[in-house]
């Protein structure tokens, strides 16, 4: 997606050989117009799948997921990383280990909002090692819902997440795939 790649080139900062900072438009400050275009792009890619719900994870997945939900005309559910006072009964949960942060969170979604019969599109900001996606896929299975695919704003193609999901036959659509961040250079995969 051209507009996204432009934003990454203009506003992204390479922090190390494997971390890209995009706080200027995705992870801290959010660019609503870019999110709108991202929502349209996900919609274009998944519009024929009969999607009834979008599932994401707090916090940075929510903005792109919302925009996709707006254009697909479906509700957006986000998995919580922390226990909520009001989220007590009927929970689907999964453990998600972050290699980056070296911590494990239990994520949860209320069974009220994810039903057997739902056709679910998972959306997230980054696909890195795929642990968050794996947890969300697990929750879709617990709900006996159908998984339409996983949409990512940015995939780091040099980390294992994308392969892990595709090897399971899951459709993965990433709007920008980065093959390398080495030498302070952002190299995109050719589309």
The contact set with ligand G4P (CB under 6 A) reads 19-22, 27, 59-61, 98-101, 125-132, 156, 161
Alpha helices in 17-110 (DSSP H): 32-46, 62-72
CB closer to ligand G4P, 20 vs 52:
20
Cα separation, 74 vs 142, whole angstroms: 20
Least Å from the CB of residue 12 to ligand G4P: 9
Residue-by-residue DSSP string for 92-112:
EEEEEEETTTTEEEEEEEETT
Least Å distance, CB 60 to ligand G4P, is: 3
Residue of 132, 85, 79 lying closest to 104 (CA atoms) = 132
**Shortest Cβ distance from residue 181 to ligand G4P (Å)?**
8
Contact present, 166 and 132 (Cβ < 8 Å): no
- Residue 39 or 161: the one with the smaller Cβ distance to ligand G4P is 161
Is 52 or 94 the residue whose CB approaches ligand G4P more closely? 94
Residue with tokens 């239990």, as numbered in its chain: 106
CB 28 to ligand G4P: min, Å: 8
Which CB, 40 or 97, lies closer to ligand G4P? 97
The CA distance from 43 to 133, in Å, is: 19
């Amino acid at each position: 997606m051209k507009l996204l790649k432009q934003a990454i080139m203009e506003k992204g900062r390479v922090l190390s050989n494997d971390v890209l900072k995009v706080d200027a438009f995705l992870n801290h400050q959010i660019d609503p117009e870019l999110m709108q275009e991202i929502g349209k792009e996900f919609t274009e890619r998944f519009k024929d799948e009969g999607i009834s719900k979008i599932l994401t994870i707090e916090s940075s997945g929510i903005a792109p997921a919302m925009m996709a939900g707006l254009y697909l005309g479906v509700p957006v559910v986000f998995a919580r990383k922390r226990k909520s006072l009001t989220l007590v009964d009927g929970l689907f949960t999964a453990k998600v280990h972050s290699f980056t942060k070296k911590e494990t969170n239990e994520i949860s979604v209320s069974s009220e909002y994810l039903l057997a019969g739902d056709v679910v599109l998972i959306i997230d900001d980054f696909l890195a090692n795929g642990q968050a996606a794996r947890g969300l896929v697990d929750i879709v299975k617990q709900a006996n819902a159908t998984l339409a695919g996983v949409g990512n704003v940015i995939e780091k193609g040099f980390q294992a997440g994308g392969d892990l999901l595709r090897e399971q036959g899951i459709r993965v659509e990433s709007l920008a795939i980065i093959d390398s961040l080495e030498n302070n250079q952002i190299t995109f995969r050719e589309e």
